[in-house]
């Protein structure tokens, strides 16, 4: 719950962000640092860090203690952008079609609880319009499951309406199963071969069942202050198991939006939001900022970590920020941070 001080300080900060600068120069870095400090002082995070990258280089900013630029951390649902990229690459290779049904690749998987895999397409999974319930409504991100267990947990819940946007981690668990069926390899192997290795993302991995983080890393804390640095990534699986670094995420989104990972047609499909009524593309979503700039990216929440990557549509400007707790839940602060970075003051 935001404090009264937070509710008062954010509007004031936004006024300062968009007021003309007396010096006539851009003050993006200072405004970004100011908001990042608010994530700690008002947002409840023990520590926060941000890496901002453009043609002029990278700029690192941190607030609080126990966090560094080179830390490995859990990126949660940012995993979905990686998985969606793999699926779209397979579509470009004609190894699957986004119009394929789940039934075609995984016969009999979705036949219970009001869910019908014969009518559920891969496109619907990618855009969260399948109607599949979210298995984490039951597990709350605290129970390690196999993909099949996650699906069975989901179909025991009341389904949503097919065609209506409703974010569900189950969609991407099923997509992970489809990738394995189509390629003969786990989605993690395909992501390493197709994305991680070509881009040189040396700090990025799919840990599977490995509970520890690679070095270096700091500590991760739950909302009640419990240290949850050691975690079984199978609580999220294909929907959120990724471990990475700030620099790697910036490099990934710059390459993706810059056209290095997908053919133009498939990248346009990824950024198309019509199916989700403007809310979501395929593993990525847009946010329109107060200054009129639209940024693309994803966020990720998993016990002990909250991460957000955002970039311009051409990938030339990208940033990632993170906090070392999953308790961060103030969209106003996040929006203010993105505005501070992407909406510079000018004289």
What tens digit of pLDDT does each residue of 60-97 get?
999 999 999 999 999 999 999 999 999 999 999 999 99
CATH code where residue 133 lies: 3.40.710.10
Residue 46's CB: how many other CB atoms inside 10 A?
A: 19
pTM of the model as a whole: 0.93
Q: Return d(Cα 229, Cα 214) in angstroms, integer.
A: 11
The closest of 54, 16, 55 to 33, measured between CA atoms, is 16
- Mean pLDDT (whole number) for 160-172: 97
- Residue 54 inside a domain? The answer is no
- Residue 40 inside a domain? The answer is no
Q: Return d(Cα 80, Cα 127) in angstroms, integer.
A: 11
For the chain, give the mean pLDDT.
92
Model pLDDT, residue 112:
81
DSSP 211: -
Lowest mean pLDDT among 108-117, 183-192, 239-248: 108-117
Model pLDDT, residue 133:
97
Q: What is the pLDDT of residues 21-60, one digit of tens each?
A: 444 334 578 889 999 999 999 888 999 999 999 999 999 9
- Residue 39 inside a domain? The answer is no
| Parent domain of 215 | 73-342
- Report the domain count for the chain: 1
Could you tell me if 93 and 85 are in contact, meaning their C-beta atoms sit under 8 angstroms apart?
no
% the chain with pLDDT above 90: 86
- Residue 55 inside a domain? The answer is no
Q: Which residue matches tokens 């397979």?
A: 90
Model pLDDT, residue 164:
96
Helix ranges restricted to H, the chain: 4-18, 28-41, 79-92, 102-105, 122-126, 136-139, 147-155, 169-183, 187-191, 197-199, 246-257, 264-271, 331-342
- Res. 1: pLDDT tops 60: no
Q: What is the pLDDT of residues 204-222, one digit of tens each?
A: 999 999 999 999 999 999 9
Model pLDDT, residue 27:
57
Q: Which residue matches tokens 């994803």?
A: 298
- Residue 255 inside a domain? The answer is yes
- Residue 8 inside a domain? The answer is no
Instruction: Record the tokens describing residue 70, joined without a space.
Output: 């080179």
- Residue 48 inside a domain? The answer is no
The β-bridge partners of 53 are 58, 318
- Mean pLDDT (whole number) for 239-250: 98
User: Is the preceding omega at residue 216 within 30 degrees of 0, hence cis?
Assistant: yes
Q: Return d(Cα 219, Cα 227) in angstroms, integer.
A: 7
How many Cα neighbours within 13 Å face the side chain of 198? 12
The closest of 19, 17, 74, 320 to 207, measured between CA atoms, is 74
Model confidence at 315, pLDDT cuts 50, 70, 90, reads very high
The β-bridge partners of 61 are 50
Could you tell me if 311 and 254 are in contact, meaning their C-beta atoms sit under 8 angstroms apart?
yes
- Mean pLDDT (whole number) for 251-265: 98
Instruction: Record the tokens describing residue 294, joined without a space.
Output: 């639209």
Q: Which residue has the higher pLDDT, 344 or 191?
A: 191
- Res. 331: pLDDT tops 90: no
The β-bridge partners of 258 are none
- Residue 16 inside a domain? The answer is no
């Amino acid at each position: 719950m935001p404090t009264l001080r937070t509710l008062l300080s954010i509007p004031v900060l936004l006024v300062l962000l968009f007021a003309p600068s007396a010096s006539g120069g851009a003050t993006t870095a200072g405004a970004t640092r100011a908001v990042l400090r608010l994530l700690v002082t008002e947002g409840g995070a023990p520590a926060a860090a941000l890496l901002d990258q453009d043609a002029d280089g990278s700029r690192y900013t941190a607030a609080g203690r126990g966090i560094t630029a080179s830390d490995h951390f859990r990126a949660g649902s940012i995993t979905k952008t990686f998985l969606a990229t793999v699926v779209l690459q397979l579509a470009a290779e004609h190894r699957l079609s986004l119009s394929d049904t789940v039934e075609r690749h995984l016969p009999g998987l979705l036949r219970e609880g009001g869910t019908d895999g014969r009518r559920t397409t891969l496109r619907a999974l990618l855009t969260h319009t399948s109607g599949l319930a979210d298995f984490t409504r039951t597990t709350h991100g605290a129970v390690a499951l196999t993909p099949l267990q996650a699906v069975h947990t989901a179909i025991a819940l009341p389904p949503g309406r097919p065609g209506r946007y409703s974010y569900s981690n189950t969609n991407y668990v099923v997509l992970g199963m489809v990738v394995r069926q189509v390629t003969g390899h786990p989605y993690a192997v395909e992501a390493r071969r197709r994305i991680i290795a070509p881009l040189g993302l040396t700090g990025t991995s799919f840990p599977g069942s490995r509970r520890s983080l690679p070095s270096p890393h700091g500590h991760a804390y739950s909302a009640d202050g419990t240290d949850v640095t050691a975690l079984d990534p199978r609580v999220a699986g294909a929907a959120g198991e990724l471990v990475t670094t700030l620099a790697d995420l910036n490099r990934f989104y710059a390459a993706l939006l810059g056209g290095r990972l997908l053919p133009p047609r498939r990248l346009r499909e990824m950024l198309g939001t019509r199916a989700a009524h403007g809310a979501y593309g395929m593993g990525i979503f847009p946010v329109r900022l107060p200054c009129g700039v639209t940024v693309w990216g994803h966020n990720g929440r998993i016990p002990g970590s909250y991460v957000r990557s955002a970039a311009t549509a051409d990938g030339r400007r990208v940033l990632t920020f993170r906090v070392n707790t999953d308790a961060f839940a103030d969209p106003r602060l996040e929006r203010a941070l993105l505005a501070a970075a992407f909406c510079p003051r000018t004289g």
